Amino acid sequence: MALIDNGVYVHGRRVETLLNLDDTSRTLGAIGGIAWIGLYRPSPQEVHSVAREFDLHPLAVEDALSGHQRSKVERYGDTLFAVLRPARYRDEQESIEFGELHLFVGPDFVVTIRHAESPNLAAVRRRMEANPDLLAMGPEAVLYAILDEVVDEYEPIVAGLENDIDEIEDQLFGDSDDDALSRRIYQLSREVIGFQRAVHPLAGMLEWLRRGSDKYRIDEELQRSLRDVLDHTIRIVERVDSFRAILENALTVQSALVARRQSEASLAQNDEIKKISSWAAIIFAPTLVGTVYGMNFDVMPELQWTYGYPLAIGAMAAFAMGLYGVFKYKRWL
């Protein structure tokens, strides 16, 4: 069942709990107050039923049905339509799971359409019901409480991202697999960008709501609460922006370290090749001399010469020592 809760509140206290949507408007007309309707992954038919009940604007209903909206707030007459992107951090996968929440806030009703487990709107409702004075401020107070919950649920995500970045910084100069580390930095950068898209519009939305507070006679205490949520949002935005900058720098450093390691490996390989080539040349010199005397010709100079053998051995040694000295001077050996 998509209908999670449907309560009618008068002076901040619940007076009715309705089991279907058709009775909501009739009840409001009879006793006044505000209705707070919570839906979870409703069908298109259920969304259209709510739209008919509260005369919601077709464009807002279309957005609610299509989903996959960016965070935004729009006004259609005396009804606000807001899209929020709640999120939660999954420790096991070290990733962020994003949701989507649609809100219709009218003069005497609030409709929430939730498409994910987050945020915990049941907890928001309990807190509001425990504070009748706040709930008595009207639908705008419910909107404030939901915004506050969404922003509060961003804090564990910020902490999780900060921990992941600390791990990456430790791995940068440690013994880690370069491909795995580069892939993790890239994936974490994508998570941060997605989180930015969810958080960044909130600051503008809250500022827009704050500017319209006087025009729509929003309680002064509620205005202060909205400013507090705005300040909290700005702090999160700044931290998330710094995360993205850190990850971009980390990816640059990782690329530089990989290039340096490859260069060092190439230099080491060149040194080995030089050493092998040098010893091959040194060995080749005496081999050349010895090969001449192994040609087995009958008529050959110095074959019968008394000093031929020591001269050949001396030539071999001289060639080898000469080449060794040259290669040593060039630091090939």
Task: Summarize pLDDT for 125-143 with one digit per residue, the tens.
Answer: 999 999 999 898 889 899 9
The predicted model gives 72-98 an average pLDDT of 88
Distance of alpha carbon 39 from alpha carbon 121, whole angstroms:
10
Asked if 24 and 35 count as a contact pair (C-beta separation under 8 A), the reply is: yes
DSSP bridge partners of 105? 80, 110
Helix or strand or coil: residue 153?
A: coil
**Hey, what are 318's tokens?**
């001289």
| pLDDT(64) > 70 | yes
User: Contacts for 328-333 with beta carbons within 8 Å, 24 or more apart?
Assistant: 332/274, 332/275, 332/277, 332/278, 333/274, 333/275, 333/278, 333/279
The predicted pLDDT at position 309 comes to: 67
- In the predicted model, what is the mean pLDDT of residues 289-312? 64
Nearest C-alpha neighbor of 148 from the set 125, 124, 114, 129: 124
User: What CATH class does 265-329 carry?
Assistant: mainly alpha
Domain with CATH 3.30.460.20 in the chain: 1-135
Residues 288 and 282: beta-carbon distance below 8 Å: no
Q: Would you call the peptide bond into 119 cis, given omega within 30 degrees of 0 as the criterion?
A: yes
For the chain, where do the domains classified as CATH 1.20.58.340 start and end? 265-329
Q: Alpha helix (H) ranges present in the chain?
A: 22-31, 44-54, 58-66, 121-129, 132-135, 139-152, 154-172, 178-211, 220-293, 308-329
Distances (CA, A) of 73 to 35, 200, 207: 20, 13, 11
- What is the average per-residue pLDDT within 31-57? 89
Cα separation, 119 vs 163, whole angstroms: 23
Of 101, 100, 87, 99, the C-alpha closest to 157 is 87
For domain 1-135, which CATH number applies: 3.60.15.10, 3.30.930.10, 2.40.10.340, 3.30.460.20?
3.30.460.20
Split at pLDDT 50, 70, 90, the class of 190 is confident
